[in-house]
Amino acid sequence: MSTHDSAGGESLTGNTSASAPGDTGRPAKRTSAKSPTGPEDVGPRADKRSERLVATCFGVSSLAAIAFLVVFWALPKTDVAYTPLLGVCLAVSLFGVGVGAILWAKKIMPDEEAVQERHPMYSTPEDAAKTAAVFAEGTEKTGFARRRLLRYSFLGAMGTLALPIVPIISDLGVHPRGNARQLKTSPWKKGDRLTTEEGAPVRIGDLEYGGILTVFPNGNTSPSNSLAPTVLIRLRAGENQPRPGRETWEVDGHVAYSAICTHAGCPAKLYEQQTHHMLCPCHQSTFLVTEHCRPIFGPAARPLPQLPLALDNEGFFVAGAAYQEPLGPSFWERS
């Protein structure tokens, strides 16, 4: 590597070389008699055996690679065994090379252990001083320290060069002013019909007691309208304990709440009929449906926003009004 190379040549510490015991040409094999791996590897017969073993590994690898081709072309790709067989063939061919190479290193190559000196991880004070002097001399020649006009105009130009980046970056998204407004705007307007995922409007009787249905405004199920999903739940008469001022928001025991969790924005729709708990599967925020969906467990801090309900003149459920508060997770400009 180049850094190593230049440092080795420049710093002249000179102790970057490997030194191995024995003669310089070929490092001595350091297989001691007490080493359990040593003795079995010596001798011409053992040597041959090792060679055959390594060659077998490489041979198996080649065979597996050919088998990979056979599977790849001969087997239909819809076969259940297609991908597993490809994996096995590829793995065996890779393992063959890997095990072979390691056995080669262990059984055939001399078992040497080399010692190398480290070079010190600092420059001599003289070297450091020389470098500092060269830098100081160069800086002096530029006049950067002396010529104030040059210095300030240069730094100023570098600073103003950063300005064009700002509009380029900021145009990646919507303008900051619009953001909060977009997040605060209710995706439901007064009179929007509650429609199912298939687009069918909903009327009284479509839901059993304890039933839950995901509804969208006027059939708009587009994923881009990600804050719109709402749940319609039918409670038994008298079960709902509305907030003061929201007594008229339910229609015949039906209530509607935003499905988007006020914590991190997952759909919180796991409804438990018996307890009237609504659970978000992401972080387990739990909301109590009968008490205006206030959070009773987990990380959510706010109730699920409620959608006022009404019936249109054909008897279908509609939004009695838009949502009265921003939907989904909290954000800086929320309130």
Partner 1 sequence: MTTMTGKAIGGGARYVDERLTSANFIRRSMNKVFPDHWSFMIGEIALYSFIILLLTGVYLMLFFDATAREVIYNGSYVPLKGVPMSEAYSSTLHISFDVRGGLIMRQIHHWAALLFVSSIVVHMMRVFFTGAFRKPREINWLIGVGLMVLGLLEGFAGYSLPDDLLSGTGLRIAYSVGQSVPVVGTWSTFLLFGGNFPGESIIGRLYVVHILLVPGILLALITAHMMILWYQKHTQFRGPGRTEENVVGSRMYPSYAAKGGGFFFLVFGVVAALGGLAQINPVWMYGPFNPSQVSAGAQPDWYIGFLEGSLRLTPGWEFRAFGHTIPLNILIPGVVLPGIMFGLLALYPFLEAAFTKDKAQHHLLDRPRDKPVRTSLGVMSLTFYFVLWIMGANDIAAHLFRISLNLTTYMGQVALFLLPPLMYAITYRICIGLQRSDHEVLVHGVETGTVHRLPSGEYIEVHAPVQESQLVLSPVEPDHPERIEGERGPRALVSSAGRAVGSFFVAKKKDTSVPADQRERDDDTLTKR
With CB under 8 A as the contact rule, which of the stretches 33-41, 123-131, 248-256, 307-315 interacts with partner 1? Answer: 33-41
- Binding-site size, partner 1 (CB under 8 A): 106
CB 233 within 8 A of CB 211: yes
Identity of the residue numbered 24: T
CB 192 within 8 A of CB 216: no
Q: Is 284 in the site for partner 1 (CB under 8 A)?
A: yes
Q: Is 199 in the site for partner 1 (CB under 8 A)?
A: no
With CB under 8 A as the contact rule, which of the stretches 160-168, 175-183, 205-213, 242-250 interacts with partner 1? Answer: 175-183
Tokens of 228: 């719109």
Instruction: By CB under 8 A, name the one of 74, 161, 168, 169 that touches partner 1.
Output: 169
Identity of the residue numbered 253: G
Q: Radius of gyration over alpha carbons of the chain, in Å?
A: 38
CB of 300 to partner 1, least distance (A): 5
CB of 59 to partner 1, least distance (A): 15
Dihedral sign for Cα 76, 79, 84, 88, please.
negative
CA distances from 13 to 1, 66, 115, 197, 316 (A): 17, 52, 17, 76, 89
Q: Is 4 in the site for partner 1 (CB under 8 A)?
A: yes
Tokens of 126: 């003289």
CB of 306 to partner 1, least distance (A): 18
Separation CA 152–CA 138 (nearest Å): 19
Q: Is 322 in the site for partner 1 (CB under 8 A)?
A: no
With CB under 8 A as the contact rule, which of the stretches 43-51, 82-90, 141-149, 233-241 interacts with partner 1? Answer: 82-90
Q: Is 173 in the site for partner 1 (CB under 8 A)?
A: yes
Applying the rule CB under 8 A, the residues between 124 and 143 that interact with partner 1 are none
Q: Is 112 in the site for partner 1 (CB under 8 A)?
A: yes
